[in-house]
Structures are given as structure tokens and as C-alpha cells.
Structure 1
Amino acid sequence: MTHRPEAPAVPAPSRDLAPRFLTGSLFRHVFVMASTAAIGLVAVFAVDLINLFYISRLGEKEIAAAIGFAGVVGFFQISLAIGLTIGITAVVSRKIGAGQRDEARRLAVHSLLLMTAICAVVGSGSVPFLHPMLRALGASGETERLAARYLAITVHSLPLLGLGMAAAALLRAAGDARRAMNVTLSAAFVTAALDPVLIFGAGLGLDGAAIAALVSRCVLAGVGLYGVMRVHRMLGPVERRWLARDARALATVAGPAVLTNFATPVAAAFVTHSIAQFGASAVAGQAIVDRVTPVAFGLVYALSGAVGPVLAQNLGARQYDRVRQGFRDSLVFMVLAVGVAWGGLALGQGLIVRAFSAEGQAAQLIHAFCTWLAPGFFFIGALFVAQAAFNNLGRPLWSTGLNWARATLGTIPFAWWGSRYGPVGVVAGQMLGAVVFGSLSMWFAFRLMRGLGRHTGTATPATSPTPQVPEAGCVPLPQAAEAGALAPLVHVETRH
């Protein structure tokens, strides 16, 4: 008989890890989680937008274009961290919802260790490849040199960014949306304060923006860890004998989520490459649109991560009707958020063009996006909500497949066709692909909801000290938020 290690001793559970989403209005839970997460996200992206505003005031299009190219490279790295946080939120939320608080603490501390190690390898390991990556995107000359210089300063701080994001994910998993919001707000305020001082006051220009980003990531990690360690006491002791097992549980959701998130920067890279052929002004215009978009649609960007704990906790408690209602309420919330954002962009497009001194193709691209391309976010928002359901309710590979299909079949041919009509045509083609695959994602999501809970597997007692790990090719139904489960569609087999 194989000896199995006993669960490590941990402090007595506190009230902070009590599941918070099993009762009450689901729309309110979705609204609170999404709006508080959006405040933090919008603050970060608004500072990024302000950063570009300061850079544009230097009067050099090459610098603004360099920020655009550097943003695409950084997007790949940040997408890795986002995918890992999706896995962290799913597995820890499920344990909290099931009342397995000791296991939630152990998973939390191991998740932070894994996040830090992976981000350190990816961040510092990318330095030798910065110039080849930038040239592949279409950067050249002074623009390439400036972008590489900016990234050479920021990539080494990726572990700090990942650590702060993971801490915020743990706080959301515990239901503390306000403190998770404060993590990102603190970093945003630091960046907002340092940017003008370093860019203009110290005369450092683009280097000043990079240094400000580095300092803000230190603050992000520090504030996040304080909330996790001191306020909620969510971290148990590190147990090496459980580390590999917990890594597999995390990878079950985080692996597909990372692959899913990589699809988006791949699509962004192709779009940037397509726009680069029209010159630095077009790339600068795309950089402005890329930074205005998450500020305007912050609620939509926040929704996919914010709704995850709501769905996962109710799935852990096997309250399937509340899972379905939570999904429907998320869609209603998304439609309202996109409508308000589109109206704001349409009314404020002239101000955006003047604020960033956009001319020529850059101004044309901004006007087109704010007027008639922004409504495409109804379908991008639908894709985000569907992915939250896939990642937390049993089909993370659906999310991966559909996102990659959108990034390839839904982007490359459409953007290539649109490039005949200039940079606006490229973005319009990308949005048309989002319409197709956003609609397809919703069809799959509603199919997932209809099948949820029709069959039941062998339940694992809530006090079980041992996390279930799926056999190769099998998904244990009770461990829904780690591996996921759609009962009618999976082969159910648990390891005993």
C-alpha cells in the first residue's frame, strides 16, 4: 500500500476564509467584484495612458511607437501571469467554497512560490531575444532601440508583477474585493506620481517611465502580500512533499488558461505587424487606441476574472442554479458596461485626438475606433464571460481552443484583408473576427450551463485532507474548480 503524507498542520481557520458568494444577490456579487476589480485595473491602465500622454508630449513619434512595440512584447509576459492567476483563483476559491480551508492555505502559499519562479525565468530569460522579437513585430531603427531599452529595464521586475497579481487573485478568491482593488490602486498611484517627476523633472524621458514601472511593481507586490499574510492569514507553511501535487492541481486550470491568454498577444502582434507597414504615425495611433481601450472597457476586462470566484464558490458548494444565474447576470452586466463605454468614447473622441496630438493616420484610427469599431466589444465581452465559465466550470480547453481560433482564424485572414484599406481596415478586420468567435463562444457557454449538474460523481468529504489529482485523460467531477466538470460530457474517474 502506498503511503500518503498526512496534511500539514496549519493555524485554525479564520472567518475571513468563509465563502461569501453562496447567498445573496448574484448580480450584486458580480457588480461588486467586477466594479472593484475594474477600479484597480482602470487605475493601472489610466496611469499607462497618462504615461503615453507624457511621452507624446516629448514630440517624437518614434518614442510613442516604441511604447507601442514594447507593450506588445510585455503583453506576452503579462498574459502568462494573468493565466496563472486564473488558475490560482479557481483552485483556491473552490477549496474555500467547499469548506476546505486548510487546503486553501496550502495551495495559496505554493501558488505564490510557483508564480514567482515562473515569472523570474520568463522575465530575465527574455533579455537576449528582445531585438529579434521587436524586429519580428516590424520595429526598426531608433524605434527598435528605444523599445528594447525600455524593456531591458522592466522585464526583470516581472516576478514582482506576478507576485502582486497572485496576491490580488488570492484576495478575490477570499471574497475581499476591496482589498484586491487597493493592491492595484496603490501601484497605480505610485506610477502616476513618479512619471512626471522622472520623465520631465529628472529629464530621463523613456527611461524614467521604465523606472517608474519598476517601483510601482515593488509596491504592487508589497501591498498584496500584506493583505494575504497579515490581514487574511491565507498562507500556510511551505510543504515540499505537497508542492508537486499542488502544482499539478494548479496547472490543470492555469495551463489551459495560460495558453488561452497567449492567443491574445499573438493576435495583437500580428495586428501591430500589419499596421507597422503604414509608418510610425499609424503605430502611434494604435498604441493610443490600445491604451484607451482598457480604460474605457475596464469593467469588461475585469469581469472575466471577477466572476470566477462567484461561479467557483457556488460550484464547490454544488449550487448549480446559482452558477447558471451568476453567468446570466454577468452577461447583463457586460452589455450595460459596453454600452456606457461606447457612448463615452463616441462623445470624447475629439478630446482624445487633441490630448495626444494625434495627426494623420493616428487621428483617423482613433476616430474610427471610437465611432463604429468600439461596439465590437459586445462580442469581445461575451468571449470574456464565456471564458470565465469555461475556466471555472470544467472546460478550460474550450477557452483555449476558441481564443486561439479567434487569434488565428478570426484575426489573420480578416486583418490581412483589411490591410488593403489602411490601418483602420486592419483593426476593423480584427473586430469582425471577434464578432464571429464571440458569438460561437456564447453558444458553447450556454451548452455548458444546460449540462451542469445533471450527473453527480463520488463526492469527496469536505474535510478530506488530500487534494484529488486527475488521472491522465480523466477529470474527477467533485474537484470541479481544479480540473472542472461538465457531467454529461466527461469521463468521470477519481483516484482513491
Structure 2
Amino acid sequence: MTTKKTSYSLTKDDIQPTLVAMTLPMLVGMITLMTFNLVDTFFISMLGTVQLAAISFTFPVSFTLISLSIGLSIGTSAVIAKALGAGSLTEARTDGQVALCLSALLVAVLAVLGYVFTVPLFTALGADTDTLSYIRQYMDIWFCGAVLLVLPMVGNAVLRASGDTKTPSIIMACSGLVNAVLDPILIFGLGPLPAMGMHGAAIATVISWVFGSALILYLLVKRGLITTNWIKPILLLSICRKILRIGLPAAGANMLTPLAMGILTAIMASYGAAAVAAFGVGARLESIACLVVLALSMTLPPFVSQNYGAGLMSRVQQAYRLCARFVMLWQFGIYLLLAVLAYPVATLFSDEPEVIRILCQFIWIVPLAYGLQGITILTNSSFNALHLPGSALVLSLIRLFVFYVPFAWLGGKLYGITGLFIGCVLANAFTATLAWRWFNRAVVRNLQEVTA
């Protein structure tokens, strides 16, 4: 088997090389997209402080639609991969068409509501009159194109469900590149094109979505991964229920993380501005340090769903345990690297001694548990892949609001900021232990049902 293949037989090919070959292109795509998003923020920051504040206000609202899109893509991947694993290509193609239509409809409804209630919504979030004018310039266009945000995400989920992660990574990278190239041209103007400021930033984003949507739809139709036939209303509703049964809890679980981080930020605020600044930088470092885990959390679920559909639960268990072991070793290596580079990294983000001191503490303590956190993330995505969205949602709730926030708060009360960071580590240890046992028990139960 070579890694030049576009897609893989998830129920037949060797587990380790298949997962490696699927994860590497997804990792490259995520790194590229993240880089382009940073470029996007950089260009907007050049407009001024008020404009940067305006774009910051949009994050909670845009993240709501993005979370819904992510949830729908998770539901889509789980449903289609299971059908493909069971050998039901016609069912998978029909599921793909319904997923795209359903996702577009739901996001369109939320986008219309957002457009109509932009002023009261962002006023409630604390935006003043000056900032609100820039928010309107950006979000009015963003809402109008929001349907084109969800199509590439769900379409990529269809491709991943079929075992192809290389094409989605290319689409992600190309869409980000289109946005990054158009940003300076449309924001600041070039030749006959006038400077459009915030309008230009939003237009660049929507054009990148148009590119991604057109490309993904073309590929899905060309490869025969979606049908274009008329679907009877009864079947349509049945498929919608299948997708939403997994997609809505997954979307809800995605929304829990920023809520928990908001609470932790408020706790950090009691220790002063330096603590908040250091924690904010630490959170951004975490997203980079855990990129491999996030990539695996997108490639493992199609593997799990297809083998679940094929009744090959032993392959599910082997893949899960293989990924868990790898994540523990990989993230420990990342921890050692961060621990050695803690001070130089901290000085890159601040020249204030107190911020540097707290950030170094964060780096020396919190990343120690990133491997354990990775097990929880993989378990959560695997539960969705096994069509157990309730278990995934409950696990997220337990991780964040039974362990993470309470342990961090208690550690802070007992031993200050150092105790808070230790609380985060202990919370990840408890959650990972629970997640490991819970998932393996679910697999064993399913194996017994298959052999019974």
C-alpha cells in the first residue's frame, strides 16, 4: 500500500498505515488554514484598534454558526461512513445529498435571524456605537454568505467518510489562501479597486467560501458521492433525524468549550490582568500544541464508523488504542519541547515580567496533561462515530463542568495560580481515565452483541 492513494479501504487496509496516511494531509491542511486565519486577523488589525475590537466581538456569534456546521459535519460523517461500511452505497449517496441541503437550510435560518437582530445582539454583547458600525459592515456581508460556510465543511465530511482526507485538506488550504490573498487587495485597495475596509474583509471571506463550495460540490457529484435524484419526503425526514441525532449534540458539545474557557478567564481575572494575558496566550499555544490530536479526531471517526457499519468492532478497538498510545507519547514529547523553550516562548508574547512568569508556569504544568486531554478528545469523537452522541455530550459536560472548571477553581483557592494549573492537569487525568474505561466498555458490549 502506498500513501499516494486518494482514499483507503477503512475496513480492509492495515490500521496503522491507513490512519497515518489519512491524518498527515489533514494536519497539513489545518496548519495551513490556521496560518491563513492569522494573516486575516493581521490585516484587519492594520485598520485600527476599533476595527480589531469589532472583529473580536463577532467571534462568539460566528462561532455559534461554525459550531452548528461542525456538529452537522460530524453527524454527516458518522451516518455516511456507517452506510459505506455496511456496503450501502446508494444509502450513503442519498444521506450526502440530504446532509448538504439540511445544513444549508439550518445555517440559512440562523443567518437570517443574525442579520435581522445584529444591532440588539451585539449591543447585548457590549459593543458601543462606534464599534457597532464596523460590526455591521462586516457581519451584514458575512451573514449573507453564511450558507457557503457550511457547504465545504459538510462536503469535506462526506469525503472523509469515504476515506479521503487528502482532498479536504487541499480544499481547506486553497480556501484559506484565496482569503489571505484577497484580504489586502479588498481591504486596502489595489489599482482600480478601492479600499473597502471591513466590507473588503467580509467580501474576501465570502469569496473564499464560494470557491470552497463550488469545488466541493463539483467533486462530490463527479465522484458519485451524492445523488441528485428526488428524495421522497418520508425518507428525507428519516435521514434528517439520523443526522441531527448526532449533529445537534455534537454542536452543543462544541459550544461548551468556549463557555468553560470564558468561566476560567473570569476566574483568572481575579488574579489580575497579567494572569488573564498569560492564560490567553497559553490557550492559543494549546491549540497549536494539540494540532495532531485535532487532526486525529477528524480522521479516526470515519474509520470507526465504517468498521462499526461492517461489524468489525475489533478493528475499532485496535485503532482507538493505537491512537491513544500514540497521542500519549507524542504529547509528552511536545511537553518536553515546550518545557525547555518556556522562557523564550513567553518572551515572544510579552515583555512584562509578571506575564512571562505566569506563562512559564502555565507551560511547565498544563501541557503535562495534553496527552490525557487527547484521549478524551479522541473518545468524544469516537462516541459520535459509534452513533452514541449522548455519551459524547455527557463526556464533554463531565470533563468541563464536573472536573475541569471545579478543579481549577478549587486549586486556585488553595494554592493560587499554580494550584489552578495543577487543577487543570488533575481534571484531565480523571476525565481521561473515565473516557478510556467508558469507551472500551462500549466496544466490548457491542462486540458481545455482534457475536451473540
Give TM class, smaller chain. 0.7 to 0.9
Which residue pairs with 2:82 in the alignment?
Answer: 94
Q: Answer yes or no: is 1:75 the counterpart of 2:75.
A: no
* 1:433-448 equivalent positions in 2, closer than 5 A: 433-448=427-442
Which residue pairs with 1:194 in the alignment?
Answer: 182
Which residue pairs with 1:238 in the alignment?
Answer: 230
Q: Which residue, out of 112, 116, 120, partners 1:124?
A: 112
Q: Answer yes or no: is 1:103 the counterpart of 2:96.
A: no
Q: Answer yes or no: is 1:115 the counterpart of 2:103.
A: yes
Which residue pairs with 1:453 in the alignment?
Answer: 447
Q: Answer yes or no: is 1:173 the counterpart of 2:161.
A: yes
Q: Answer yes or no: is 1:33 the counterpart of 2:26.
A: no
Give how far 1:103 is off. Answer: 1.0
Give how far 1:212 is off. Answer: 3.3
Runs of 5+ consecutive residues of structure 1 not aligned to the other structure: 1-15, 458-486, 488-496
Q: Which residue, out of 245, 251, 263, partners 1:252?
A: 245
What is the aligned residue count?
A: 442
Asked if structure 1 preserves the Cα contact closer than 8 Å seen for 2:92 and 2:225, the reply is: no
Alignment partners' CA distance in 1, 2:345 and 2:130: 26
Give how far 1:216 is off. Answer: 2.3
* Superposition TM-score, scaled by structure 1 size: 0.76
Give how far 1:325 is off. Answer: 0.6
Which residue pairs with 1:297 in the alignment?
Answer: 290
Runs of 5+ consecutive residues of structure 2 not aligned to the other structure: none
Alignment partners' CA distance in 1, 2:52 and 2:405: 25
Q: Answer yes or no: is 1:317 the counterpart of 2:291.
A: no
Which residue pairs with 1:7 in the alignment?
Answer: none
Structure 1 residues 35 and 129 mapped into 2: Cα distance closer, same or farther (>3 Å)?
farther
Which residue pairs with 2:38 in the alignment?
Answer: 49
* 1:374-453 equivalent positions in 2, closer than 5 A: 374-417=367-410, 432-453=426-447
Which residue pairs with 1:224 in the alignment?
Answer: 216
Asked if structure 2 preserves the Cα contact closer than 8 Å seen for 1:257 and 1:396, the reply is: yes
Asked if structure 2 preserves the Cα contact closer than 8 Å seen for 1:110 and 1:238, the reply is: no
Alignment partners' CA distance in 2, 1:151 and 1:280: 30
Q: Which residue, out of 10, 19, 23, partners 1:21?
A: 10
* 1:151-170 equivalent positions in 2, closer than 5 A: 151-170=139-158
Asked if structure 1 preserves the Cα contact closer than 8 Å seen for 2:71 and 2:251, the reply is: yes
Amino acid at match of 1:326: A
Alignment partners' CA distance in 2, 1:132 and 1:332: 49
Alignment partners' CA distance in 2, 1:108 and 1:228: 9
Structure 1 residues 155 and 400 mapped into 2: Cα distance closer, same or farther (>3 Å)?
same
Asked if structure 2 preserves the Cα contact closer than 8 Å seen for 1:271 and 1:427, the reply is: no
Alignment partners' CA distance in 2, 1:365 and 1:207: 39
Alignment partners' CA distance in 2, 1:206 and 1:360: 35
Alignment partners' CA distance in 2, 1:282 and 1:134: 27
Give how far 1:158 is off. Answer: 2.8
Asked if structure 2 preserves the Cα contact closer than 8 Å seen for 1:386 and 1:442, the reply is: yes
* Superposition TM-score, scaled by structure 2 size: 0.83
Amino acid at match of 2:212: L
Give how far 1:371 is off. Answer: 3.5
- Deviation string for 1:414-447 (max 9, x for gaps)? 4545676888877765565344323322221122
Which residue pairs with 1:11 in the alignment?
Answer: none
Asked if structure 2 preserves the Cα contact closer than 8 Å seen for 1:37 and 1:181, the reply is: yes
Structure 1 residues 108 and 17 mapped into 2: Cα distance closer, same or farther (>3 Å)?
farther
Amino acid at match of 1:216: S
Give how far 1:455 is off. Answer: 1.8
Asked if structure 2 preserves the Cα contact closer than 8 Å seen for 1:94 and 1:315, the reply is: yes
Which residue pairs with 1:12 in the alignment?
Answer: none
Amino acid at match of 1:41: M
Alignment partners' CA distance in 1, 2:57 and 2:425: 20
Asked if structure 1 preserves the Cα contact closer than 8 Å seen for 2:93 and 2:224, the reply is: no
Q: Answer yes or no: is 1:326 the counterpart of 2:314.
A: no
Amino acid at match of 2:445: G
Alignment partners' CA distance in 2, 1:389 and 1:321: 14
Structure 1 residues 346 and 154 mapped into 2: Cα distance closer, same or farther (>3 Å)?
farther
* Larger CA deviation: 138-147 vs 339-348: 138-147
Give how far 1:100 is off. Answer: 0.8
Which residue pairs with 2:171 in the alignment?
Answer: 183
Structure 1 residues 35 and 89 mapped into 2: Cα distance closer, same or farther (>3 Å)?
same
Structure 1 residues 378 and 18 mapped into 2: Cα distance closer, same or farther (>3 Å)?
closer
Give how far 1:365 is off. Answer: 5.7
Q: Which residue, out of 188, 207, 216, partners 1:215?
A: 207
Asked if structure 2 preserves the Cα contact closer than 8 Å seen for 1:30 and 1:329, the reply is: no
Amino acid at match of 1:74: S
- Deviation string for 1:275-295 (max 9, x for gaps)? 567888776665554444333
Structure 1 residues 88 and 371 mapped into 2: Cα distance closer, same or farther (>3 Å)?
same
Amino acid at match of 2:30: L
Give how far 1:221 is off. Answer: 1.7
| RMSD, aligned α-carbons | 3.7
Asked if structure 1 preserves the Cα contact closer than 8 Å seen for 2:6 and 2:164, the reply is: no
Asked if structure 2 preserves the Cα contact closer than 8 Å seen for 1:109 and 1:238, the reply is: no
